Copies of this chain bind each other. A is one copy, B any other.
Amino acid sequence: MNEIIYHIDPAAEDLKDPVMIVGLPGVGHVGKFVADHLVEALGAQKIIEIYSEHFPPQVIVGEDSTVTLVGNRVYLARTEKTDILILAGDSQSTDPAGHYSLCETYIGFASQFKVKRIFTLGGYPTGVVNAENYVIGAVNNIEIIESLKEKGIKFNPSEPPGGIVGASGLILAFAKFRGIDAACLMGTTTGYIADPQSSKVLLEKLCGILEIGVDFASLDEKIKDMEQIVEKIKDSVNGEEFEEYGDRYATDEDLNYFG
Residue ranges of A at the interface with B (Cβ–Cβ < 8 Å) = 1, 3, 53-54, 56-70, 93-97, 99-101, 103-104, 137-142, 145, 155-161, 163-166, 169-170, 172-173, 176-177, 184, 247, 250-252, 254
Contacts and interface: CB of A to CB of B under 8 A. Distances in A.
Most chain B beta carbons < 10 A, residue from A68, A145, A163, A254 = A163
Given A56-B165, A158-B254, 13 more contacts: A1-B100, A57-B93, A61-B163, A64-B157, A65-B137, A66-B139, A66-B140, A67-B140, A69-B173, A70-B163, A95-B96, A161-B247, A161-B251
Given A54-B97, A170-B57, A170-B69, A63 B158 contact: yes
Contacts of A64: 142, 157
Contact of A169 (B63, B67, B158, B176): B67
A62 B163 CA distance: 9
A127 to B, nearest CB: 11
A139 B104 contact: no
B247 A139 contact: no
A96 B56 contact: yes
Nearest to A157: B63
Contact of A66 (B65, B100, B104, B138): B138
A158 B61 contact: yes
Chain A interface SS verdict (over half): mixed
A109 to B, nearest CB: 16
Contact of A61 (B68, B94, B142, B159): B159
5 contacts: A61-B138, A62-B157, A65-B157, A67-B184, A69-B173
Contact of A1 (B1, B101, B157, B159): B101
A239 to B, nearest CB: 18
Nearest to A254: B158
Contacts of A176: 67
A100 B53 contact: yes
Nearest to A64: B142
Nearest to A137: B65
Contacts of A100: 1, 53, 57
B96 A57 contact: yes
